[in-house]
Amino acid sequence: MKDYMKLKDYLKVIVASAAFSAIGIAAGADLTAAQVKSRLEAAGYTKVENVKKEGDHFDAMATAKDGKRVALDVDAQTGAITPETKETKKQEKNEHQ
Instruction: From 49, 75, 52, 74, select the one nearest 62 (Cα to Cα).
Output: 49
Q: How many domains is the chain partitioned into structurally? A: 2
Do residues 5 and 39 share a domain? no
Do residues 26 and 69 share a domain? no
Do residues 25 and 44 share a domain? no
pTM of the entire structure? Answer: 0.64
Q: Find how far residue 95's CA is from the centre of its chain.
A: 20
Interval 50-85: pLDDT, tens? 999 999 999 999 999 999 999 999 999 999 999 987
Which band of pLDDT confidence, cut at 50, 70 and 90, is reported for residue 29?
confident
CATH of the domain at 70: 3.10.450
Average pLDDT over residues 24-49: 88
Backbone phi and psi for residue 28, each to the nearest 5 degrees, phi listed first: -85, -15
**Domain range for 20:** 1-30
Do residues 38 and 22 share a domain? no
Do residues 74 and 38 share a domain? yes
**Per-residue model confidence (pLDDT) at position 85:** 79
